[in-house]
Structure formats: C-alpha cells, structure tokens
Homo-oligomer: A and B are copies of this chain.
Amino acid sequence: MPYDPSAFPPFAVTVDLVVLTVRRHALCALAVRRGEPPFQGRWALPGGFVRADEDLAQAAARELAEETGLSVHDPSVPAQDNGAHLEQLATYGDPKRDPRMRVVSVAHLALAPDLPAPRAGGDASNARWAPVEELLQQGGYGRDAEPVAPLAFDHAQILADGVERARSKIEYSSLATAFCPPEFTVGELRRVYEAVWGVALDPRNFHRKVTGTPGFLVPTGGTTTRQGGRPAQLFRAGGATLLNPPMLRPEV
C-alpha cells in the first residue's frame, strides 16, 4: 500500500523514569508530585515528552538530569563517575493509560548512588525519595499512618517492573556498583544487595564471592572506617559487567 498519512493515528510519546537508589538500607525510588490534572497532587514517576529531534535515550538522559542533576555514565569513559546507569525498561501503551489522549511511554530505569535532596524544578516539596514498598502499596497507610494514594497513571506497574528488573539484574551483572559511590567497601556493596533484595547475606560468603570474581572489584589501596568496626579496604568497580557465575539470590 502507498504511503498514506491518514493510515495511522498520531501518538504522543513520553519517557518515564524509574530512578532507584539505596538510602538508609532501603531501596528507594524518585517520585514527583503532579502539579496539574490528571492525577493532580498525586505522586508519579518523573518523565516528560520526547522532543521532535530527540532519541529515546537522549530524552531519558535529559529528564534524568533535569530531575536529579545526574549525568549518565558513559561506558566509553571509564574514568568518569558520579554518573548514573540508565537503560531502557519497557514501553507502556494501553489506549486508556492517559485519559487525555493516546500516550505511549517508554520507561527507563536509572540506578544512582545515594544523593543529596532531590529537586523538581527547584521545589523540594514536589520531589522525594520514597521506599519502593511505600510507593507500591495500593491504598494502604504510610509510616505515619497517613493514607497513601497509589501512583498516578500506570506508574505503579512501571515501578514494579523496574524494581524487578533491578533485582534480577544485580544477580548476573556488576550493576549493584551503580548504587555505590566511586569508592566503596565490600560491606557497603553487600548492604546494597541486602536492600535491593530485602534479605540478609552472609558477610563471609559475600566477601569471598565478590573478591574472588575476576574484574568485579579493583582495590584502590585505601581503607575506611566510616562504617565503624575494623577498617575496610576500598574498591572501585572493575571492568567486568557480567558476573559468571552469578550472585545467587537466596530463596524465600
């Protein structure tokens, strides 16, 4: 059939971001408060429209920078750091997911080290890091027994998918280091796994595993005692991205 502009309906395309970090031993996601309808006043994932001349990954990186100030870690520049990991997650296109019009959202997953306070257009009260369990419990009650409204749109589903992706991906890749500062200890990395998976890991077996996997960790020579106790060696993330054999997530 010949090219016929009337043969397809127009869509709006957005990127939504699942930005995860580990704060105070809990896996947290960035949420922003919606300032306009629909879902005005409700919490949502950060995101926005893809511009006319923009690739999807560019749009996601731009939104991430706007919301957090984070730049995206470019694997071709190994020395660089304080950049976040960013990858495409999935695309959501239910015809009714946005009541205004037909919107297809390409969700992305970002993993970042613990940051100072978030900013959403400079207004701190409209952006926060919240534990993912708190954001995902539908219509429950938060820590202070205040009612919790579910996330806007289908963002609860997107967040759940992003969390599941992160949980499974740190099994077989070195992505957990994306949650850590440039230099970190084995114990800090273990607490990342514990927070993301919600389990306790044996410190001795974990230490054996990560230090015994070639290319995973590179000792920097320094030590730190910021966690209390005996000083621990500092490491940087090594070049290896795939963990083989993988880190095993305990059952149950």
Residues of A within 8 A of B (CB): 1-3, 5, 7-14, 36-37, 49-56, 88, 90-95, 100-102, 104, 106
Majority-rule SS of A interface residues: loop
User: What is the bound-complex CA distance between A146 and B102, given in angstroms?
Assistant: 45
Contact yes or no, B7 A10, CB < 8 A? no
Task: Tell me, in angstroms, the Cα distance from A14 to B7 when the chains sit together.
Answer: 12
For residue A50, which residues in chain B have a CB less than 8 angstroms away from its CB?
8-9, 11, 93, 104
Q: Which residue of B lies closest to A245 (CB)?
A: B248
Which single member of B1, B56, B106 contacts A36 (CB below 8 Å)?
B1
Q: How far is the CA of A12 from the CA of B93 in the complex (A)?
A: 13
Would B95 and A49 count as touching, CB distance under 8 A? no
Partner of A104, one of B51, B56, B102: B56
- B-side contacts of A91, CB under 8 Å: 56, 88, 91, 106
Question: Does A49 contact B8, Cβ atoms closer than 8 Å?
Answer: yes
Q: A89 CB to closest chain B CB, in angstroms? A: 10
Closest 7 A/B residue pairs (Cβ): A10-B10, A9-B52, A8-B49, A56-B93, A91-B91, A11-B13, A8-B12
Q: How far is the CA of A53 from the CA of B101 in the complex (A)?
A: 11
In angstroms, Cα B88 to Cα A92, docked, is 10
Q: With the chains together, A104 CA to B57 CA distance in Å?
A: 12
Residue of B nearest to A100 (CB): B3
List residues of chain B with CB within 8 A of the CB of A3. 36-37, 100
CA gap between A94 and B106 in the complex, in Å? 13
Q: How far is the CB of A12 from chain B (nearest CB, A)?
A: 5
Q: Are B95 and A53 interface neighbours, CB within 8 A?
A: yes
Q: Of B8, B10, B52, B93, which one neighbours A106 at CB under 8 angstroms?
A: B93
Residue numbers in B under 8 Å from A14 (CB-CB): 8
